[in-house]
Amino acid sequence: MELLFLGTGAGMPSKQRNTTSIVVNLVEERGTYWLIDCGEATQHQLLYTSLKPRRIEKIFITHMHGDHIYGLPGLLGSRSFLGGTEKLTVYGPRGIEEYIRLSLKLSRTHLTYPLEIIEIEPGVVFEDTEFRVLTERLDHVIPCYGFRIEQNDQPGTLLMEKVRELHVPRGPLLGRLKAGEDIVLEDGRVVKSGDVTSQPKPGFTVTVLGDTRFTESSIALAKEADIVVHEATFDDTGKKMAQDYGHSTFRQAAQVANEAQAKHLIVTHISARFTNENEPSLLAELKESGCPSFIASDFMHYKLLRDGSIESFTTSPK
């Protein structure tokens, strides 16, 4: 699993940061991408990557402020022009369906794929055999949500030496054992899956929080997550403004990660008032997280490795 930040700015685009959008790259897990928020010019940012809009399977919208949704109509239309035929589902707060349907209607945009729009409430908003996505209300100036993406535990790998010792023939029986099913051989012997497979590997958990003041809901969604993405629009000097406008400071994001016992913290939605020169002092405010912490920038990738660590790199075209 990999996160790619297409936009990391707050409010409106700047020369350094586009408005909010994050790709959850699940190509290895399910052959698709998920998108969280779709600020203005998200599809422009995608042009500088190797990602194909037609492979976007789901879009999760945290709230209805423009810097999180103004890129939706253009991206949905372009997905048709670029050969998209697979179903796309958009999840978001009340009003997201009216916004999308009206935008497409008035612009006479025809889609070549089925579009499903789900207006969410707190709880489980998606679940299948691989993933579960939960959401909770946060504390912003309008209804806003955070998302917790949980991957189910992964089956153990076959221990081929033990398989050979038991003379299990190659073919479908191996697949059934790997899937956790006990089998019966032609000679009547029962081979238990647990005897010939390694222990299941825990799935990953990623939490992405929309704009919010410090709130217990953030901590609940972030509990023991492998990665927490938290907005940090202000530093300590702007604590009052953060409270007034429904945002968080860097230190408050670190507090959420710390209390949730998260393994990694990435902050985004950064005010344009901050430049690269401010980064050392901002990173100092993140130290309270108690975990490795990063300040996201446009086109930064964060890949969650099998050992639980993060590999970060940039493909910035700028």
Residue 158 scores a pLDDT above 90: no
Could you say which of 139, 173, 196 is where a domain stops? 196
Residues 292 and 206 in one domain: yes
Query: Residue 184 belongs to what domain range?
Result: 160-196
Residues 14 and 145 in one domain: yes
Q: What is the CATH number of the domain that holds 290?
A: 3.60.15.10
pLDDT (0 to 100) of residue 224: 98
pLDDT (0 to 100) of residue 170: 87
In the predicted model, what is the mean pLDDT of residues 146-155? Answer: 93
Residues 123 and 192 in one domain: no
Binned at pLDDT 50, 70 and 90, residue 133 comes out as: very high
Taking only Cα atoms into account, the Rg of the chain, rounded to an integer number of angstroms, comes to 22
Residues 87 and 167 in one domain: no
* Catalytic annotation, residues: 67
Do the beta carbons of residue 39 and residue 64 sit within 8 Å? no
Residue 318 scores a pLDDT above 70: no
Average pLDDT of the chain is: 95
Q: What's the structural domain count of the chain?
A: 2
| Cα angle 186, 189, 195; round to 5 | 125
Could you say which of 171, 196, 221 is where a domain stops? 196
In the predicted model, what is the mean pLDDT of residues 250-263? Answer: 97
Residues 13 and 99 in one domain: yes
In the predicted model, what is the mean pLDDT of residues 180-198? Answer: 90
Residues 165 and 242 in one domain: no
Pairing of strands 32-36, 56-60: parallel
310 beta partners: 304
Do the beta carbons of residue 3 and residue 25 sit within 8 Å? yes
Residues 190 and 270 in one domain: no
pLDDT (0 to 100) of residue 283: 94
